[in-house]
Amino acid sequence: MKHFLTTTDYTQQELMKIIKAALTMKKSGCKKTLQGKILSMFFFNPSLRTRLSFIVAMDKLGGLAVDLSSGSGNFPFEFEENVIMDQGTIEHIKEAIPVVSRMSDAIAVRASDLVTTSSESVKVPHWNKVKKDTVIRGFTKYAKVPVINMESNVYHPCQGLGDAMTIMEKLGNPKGKKYVLTWAYHPKALPMATVNSQLMSACDLGMEVTVAYPEGWDLDEEIINSAKARAKQAGGSLQFSNSQTDAFKDAQIVCAKSWGAMKYYGAWDQEKKIREKLKHWIIDKTKMNLTNNAYFMHCLPVRRNVEVTDEVLDSPFSIVIDQAENRMWIQMAILDYLIRSS
Ligand code: CP
């Protein structure tokens, strides 16, 4: 039995097989390969695309997705081991997840400290603690069926792999083509999970990858080292830049994503003072004109005229809607692969 927590648990060949299966299903239709199969979904955070795309994906494959999200009537879970449960938690995952496993063929979880509806950056501990991904790791510890990561603190692999599918759909063979992953201004600190998975996917495709971000917004070193190794393995490269205008030159894909600076996890007040001076990190037509007619990508939701201008988002080069639709096709391929091989 294999979980789907990060694409880095899979070889580039395995990932390519999943992407190709998704492209084929989109082009030629799919069979009801998961008839009678059940996906149980737990969203501890808000979602539009991920929730809908998993429900529709299971339906298209003949199965059923059950949404057991917090607030939908299930009991508050306890994740700590050896705890006296005399406070707010009612059910330990040690019982809950084996029970769910008996009635499910896969379990999908979204658990991210920073995906919230709050208008302000929410309080989180230091990155080293957040990085432990306690909730989703707790699920994998007790699950008897595959667990799919629908976004944790560290990775959003369905977004990453869906983006890889979109890139292949638009560019054909992506090897050697320039992919720019750029930080964008946002009024609050967002998670790093999406950027980590997008970065990993572009490296797995063997692209010439540049990550552009303001000084101080460095990504996790361990993740960077893994991305570098995978880029090398795929025949591509990975570089970093603190200048959007330098990075955008000759790009064929520009993907925008905001994230909170790792070193300020737990100290957003300090981060905000610097962040507020970075409003010029917006993707506009002048910057896009530096590229080689690049497609514009964003995982959504996006703040118009904050992260990217209307002119870019509404242009024929914007592929954000295709990118969102492809979440469904890639997840169909992931579900089919995981459930039928477990
Ligand atoms: N991109 C993405 O995961 O969207 P949702 O947060 O709406 O699921």
237-241: strand order across its sheet: 237-241, 208-212, 178-182, 253-256, 295-298
**pLDDT for 118:** 87
pLDDT tens for residues 293-312?
999 999 999 999 999 999 99
Q: Which of 41, 54, 117, 151 to mutate to test the pocket of ligand 1 (most atoms within 8 A of CB)?
A: 151
Query: Does ligand 1 have an atom closer than 6 angstroms to the CB of 109?
Result: no
Pairing, β 91-92 against β 77-78: parallel
Q: What is each CA distance from 303 to 136, 163, 187, 199, 239, in whole angstroms? A: 28, 19, 9, 21, 27
136, 142 contact by CB (below 8 A) = no
290: tokens are 């530096």
Domain range summary for the chain, segments of one domain joined by +: 7-155+327-341, 159-323
For 332, residues 6+ apart whose C-beta sits below 8 A from its C-beta are 22, 25, 30, 57, 60, 61
**pLDDT for 120:** 86
79: tokens are 């994740």
Indicate the CATH number for domain 159-323. 3.40.50.1370
pLDDT tens for residues 18-77?
999 999 999 999 999 999 999 999 999 999 999 999 999 999 999 999 999 867 678 899
Indicate the CATH number for domain 7-155+327-341. 3.40.50.1370
Query: Does ligand 1 have an atom closer than 6 angstroms to the CB of 110?
Result: no
Query: Does ligand 1 have an atom closer than 6 angstroms to the CB of 159?
Result: yes
- CA of residue 302 to ligand 1 center, whole Å: 10
Query: Does ligand 1 have an atom closer than 6 angstroms to the CB of 49?
Result: yes
Query: Does ligand 1 have an atom closer than 6 angstroms to the CB of 300?
Result: yes
pLDDT tens for residues 170-229?
999 999 999 999 999 999 999 999 999 999 999 999 999 999 999 999 999 999 999 999
Domains 7-155+327-341 and 159-323 share a fold: yes
pTM: 0.97
d(CA 155, CA 40): 20
pLDDT tens for residues 214-272?
999 999 999 999 999 999 999 999 999 999 999 999 999 999 999 999 999 989 999 99
Least Cα distance to 5 among 125, 91, 118, 110 occurs for 110
The answer to whether residue 126 scores a pLDDT higher than 70 is yes
147-149: strand order across its sheet: 64-67, 38-43, 106-110, 147-149
Q: Which of 44, 300, 321 to mutate to test the pocket of ligand 1 (most atoms within 8 A of CB)?
A: 300
Query: Does ligand 1 have an atom closer than 6 angstroms to the CB of 323?
Result: no
Mean pLDDT of the chain: 96
